[in-house]
Amino acid sequence: MEPSKARICAEVDTLARDLYAVSEFLYHNPEIGYQEFKACEFLSRFMAEHGFKAEKGTGGVQTAFLARPAQRPQGRPCVAFLAEYDALPGVGHGCGHNLIAAASLGAALALSRHLNGLTGTLALVGTPAEEGGGGKILLAEAGIFSEMDAAMMCHPSRLNRPGEEMFGRVKFKVEFFGQASHASVSPDRGVNALDAMVAAYNNISMLRQQVRPDARIHGIITHGGDAPNIIPQYTAGLFYVRAATRKYRDEVYQKVEKCMEAAAVATGAAYKIEIGQPTFDPIKRNPPLETAARANMEALGISVDPDDGRRGSSDIGNLSFYLPAIHPSTAIVDPEVPGHSKIFAEATMSPRGKDALLKAAKFLAMTGYDYLTSADLRERVREAFEQKE
Ligand SMILES: [Zn+2]
């Protein structure tokens, strides 16, 4: 490993106790999306105490923050480390965002102490509400990333990967409106909104066989009727449509809409669809930046796993269309352990979780260092970013 990178890694090691404390604080104080007041306060204060200028409420998003090295003039190129810190209802940090925040803080601090002689700078962006709220999208729309050139973070996972595919996602609510009637005396006078919902659900089930493997459609019925002796006059459901490209996501969504329409026609019910915000884009991957991250992971002795084909969605997808962005992962559990679970939350506090935290902080800082020191890498990252989807 080259000496400057070795010094950056040693810097992360000196910060280890502080970074564990950050992760632990978040673990014990889980807050759901856009409610992360304690986390935002704690993390921005931590950065201020470590030589950064930290501002809360960035981009008009109350629980977002932006921290920059206080002694360094703003400039380009600028590498952004992203800190997520929202939790999940019921399972706390079942997605391990406490480790994401701590690793990005560590990377920002370690690299900031070794910027002398380099052009450019770095920033730490606190991005709330990844779990469905899309904080990164609001920050990008507010222009926060317009003075930054590349963004990175590391997500704890079941795999060590320098990047991963993600689905774009549309979520929507559907409602069917029928006519209530006595289910025994006058069923012929009713219009059955539950039949409409069941037909819609079955239409989707059939559609699933005719879509590409890189699409997912799933949903729930949130209101199925009021009493068995009343023909249901109102039903409602929530559905997600996901696919690996924006184009295919929208194509599949159009077909799902037809499933709703057909169900309404067949039963005589009326229907209404309300698309939920935000819509997530799939991630636009950046191979040169991922390759740099991969080399740094391997230099730390992390063995990179093959892609297992399992995919989710994240607001970093939308962000990756604003600027080059990567979303590597480090394993803190075995592959069979499900994410969004209590076991996963506990794993963030385990020795394996702590080790992954430090390694993530290190390879993120190293990759940021590569980006700031190599004009050639920056050029290749830019070229990859400008390629069409
Ligand atoms: Zn997550």
Q: How far is the CA of 219 from the centre of ligand 1 (A)?
A: 20
Distance of alpha carbon 81 from the chain centroid: 14
DSSP H helix total and E strand total for the chain = 12, 12
For residues 43 and 67, give the distance between their C-alpha atoms in angstroms, rounded to a whole number: 10
Residue 156 Cα to ligand 1 middle (Å) = 8
pLDDT band for position 132 (50/70/90)? confident
Q: Residue 321: which pLDDT band, with cuts at 50, 70 and 90?
A: very high
Quick: pLDDT tens for 68-124: 999 998 899 999 999 999 999 999 999 999 999 999 999 999 999 999 889 999 999
* The pLDDT of residue 247: 95
Amino acid occupying residue 373 = T
Is pLDDT above 80 for 192? yes
- The share of the chain scoring above pLDDT 90, in percent, equals 97
Containing 180, the helix (H) or strand (E) segment is none
CA of 330 to the centre of ligand 1 (A): 12
Going from the Cα of 196 to the center of ligand 1, the distance in angstroms, rounded, reads 35
- Ligand 1 centroid to 154 CA: how many Å? 10
Distance 97 CA to ligand 1 centre (A): 6
For the chain, what's the residue count? 389
Q: Write down the pLDDT at residue 74.
A: 87
Q: Provide φ and ψ at 86, rounded to 5°.
A: -85, 150
Residue 388: band (very low, low, confident or very high) from pLDDT cuts 50, 70, 90: confident
Going from the Cα of 234 to the center of ligand 1, the distance in angstroms, rounded, reads 35
Residue 96 CA to ligand 1 center (angstroms) comes to 7
For residues 1 and 366, the model is more confident at: 366
Is pLDDT of 155 > 90? yes
**What is the whole-number distance in angstroms between the Cα of residue 201 and the centre of ligand 1?**
28
Cα–Cα distance measured from residue 267 to residue 192, given in angstroms and rounded to the nearest whole number? 7
Sole residue written with tokens 């800190």 = 83
Q: What distance in angstroms lies between residue 359's CA and the mean position of ligand 1's atoms?
A: 18
Cα separation, 105 vs 81, whole angstroms: 8
* Distance from residue 172's CA to the centre of ligand 1 (Å): 21
pTM of the model: 0.92
Q: How far apart are CA 286 and CA 320, in angstroms?
A: 9
Distance 389 CA to ligand 1 centre (A): 24
How close is the Cα of 95 to the center of ligand 1, in Å?
5
How much is the pLDDT for 111? 98
Residues 363, 368, 372, CA angle at the centre, nearest 5°? 145
Residue 135: alpha-carbon gap to chain centroid: 9
User: 215: pLDDT confidence band, cut at 50, 70 and 90?
Assistant: very high
> Residue 365 to residues 11, 124, 297: CA-CA distances in angstroms?
10, 12, 11
Q: Ligand 1 centre and the CA of 314: distance in Å?
A: 8
Determine how β-strand 215-223 pairs with β-strand 234-243. antiparallel
For 245-273, the pLDDT digits (tens) are 999 999 999 999 999 999 999 999 999 99
Three-state SS letters, 276-297: EEEEECCCCCCHHHHHHHHHHH
* Percentage of the residues of the chain whose pLDDT score is greater than 70: 100
Please compute Rg for the chain using Cα positions: 23
Query: If pLDDT is split at 50, 70 and 90, which confidence band does 389 have?
Result: confident
pLDDT higher than threshold 80 for residue 30: yes
- Span between the terminal Cα atoms of the chain, in Å: 35
Tell me whether strands 329-331 and 155-157 are parallel, antiparallel or unpaired: parallel
pLDDT of residue 234: 98
Give the model confidence (pLDDT) of 275-288 as tens digits.
999 999 999 999 99
Is residue 33 scored above 90 in pLDDT? yes
